[in-house]
Structure 1
Amino acid sequence: MIIETNKLGIKMEAKSINKPTPVNLAQHAYWNLDGHSSGNILSHKIKLFASSITPVDNELIPTGEITPVAGTPYDFTTPREIRSQIKSAGGYDINYVVDDTGSEHLKKVAEVTGKKSGRKMELWSNQPGVQFYTANKLNGVKGKDGAVYENHAGLCLETQGFPDALNHPNFPSQIVNPGESYVHVMVYRFTVHH
């Protein structure tokens, strides 16, 4: 849904009819703010309003820990280029714990700016986590207008409940009980800065 100028909203809803049901929906759009055929997103600057991650094991399943990003290649609490430490991280595909601002409404999740275009995207959501993914596996994927997408051609910011929450009691519950509703809201705001 379009809301106000330069904003895009996404609302996902689900209801449990007769049994407690785990629900954790995500929206997996790829973004390249310099344009879909402009190469990779490594020069994009990103700030994540998230001071912790939920680390994963070798199978990419969360371990149940919540660890601070300070002093690690996962620290984007101040804006920096994605390429700055991507080699030490091996590419990004991890759930970040969105900082609790105390707001009962939407929390700011991320700010991303394309270096060439000056386009800036801000993301707000009501979810406790965001999966930051840097398209680490793209390899010769044909896209629109004949463009070919290679490794890191786009980035994803998927707001969500924490993955595998069902198996980790310390994670926020993703169970929707009968009569309750799951409501997931994302709002994007786009501006241009030169």
Structure 2
Amino acid sequence: MEAKALNKATPVNLALHTYWNLGGHDSGDILSHNLQLFGSKITPVDDELIPTGEIKSIKGTPYDFLQSREIGSRFNELPHGYDINYVLDDTNTDHLKKVAVVQESVSGRKLELWTNQPGVQFYSSNMLGHVKGKGGFVYSNYAGFALETQGFPDSVNHPNFPSQILNPGETYVHVMVFRSLLIRKS
């Protein structure tokens, strides 16, 4: 995604909110999908899901996906599921960094996500609730997940977050690459 500020400094923080279910759109929930997410910190939120300005370690919390595990494995420790921005680990590279790897064992599908952005919002469709979709199928909560690469939400109000202000003459470039693989079963 690209954007340009014409004549005034402008906050820009675009995100793609695509839902994924690697088992297929009508296969049920995504809680058995395995997720590895390369962010060792989060930007905690208040009761209205607004970032507090803190940056906290995920070590030992239900948000810790540094090692691959099922999305639903610690779901009972969260009040409503996942809807949080991860601070992506700095890989000290000028190239894209790996954000996440998601795998679904029944279909054998695997998805990798890469970006040039500092954060990713992981959302487990906690409020999807009975939405009619493809082929008339009705999606329930947790029927898909979203991984939205982005700058940190509400960064204009938190000077310790990376700036999302685009000045006149500058170009905002947001790259995200989704790579799908099929793991063959023996």
Relative to the length of structure 2, the TM-score reads 0.97
Runs of 5+ unmatched residues, structure 2: none
Considering only aligned residues, what root-mean-square deviation do their CA atoms show, in Å? 0.7
CA contact (8 A) 1:74 1:89 kept: no
- Contact persistence 1:55–1:64 (CA under 8 A): yes
Question: 1:18-167 counterparts in 2 under 5 A?
Answer: 18-90=7-79, 91-167=81-157
**What code does the residue aligned with 1:186 have?**
M
Report how far residue 115 of structure 1 moved. 2.2
In the alignment, is the contact (CA less than 8 A) between 1:107 and 1:124 conserved in 2? yes
* Equivalences, count: 183
Cα offsets for 1:137-163 (capped at 9, x unmatched): 122111111211001000000000000
In structure 2, the partner of 1:6 is none
| Aligned AA (1:73) | P
Per-residue CA distance 1:8-59 (angstroms, 9 max, x = gap): xxxx000001111000000000000000000000000000000000000111
Contact 1:55–1:67 under 8 Å retained in 2:
yes
The aligned residue for residue 7 of structure 1 is none
Question: Runs of 4+ in structure 1 displaced over 4 angstroms?
Answer: none
Residues 69-91 of structure 1: CA deviation (Å, up to 9, x unaligned): 00000000000000101121230
Greater strand percent: which structure? 1
Partner Cα distance (1:137, 1:60) in 2: 13
How far apart in 2 are the matches of 1:160 and 1:137? 21
Q: Percent identity?
A: 67
Return 5+ residue gaps in structure 1 as ranges. Answer: 1-11
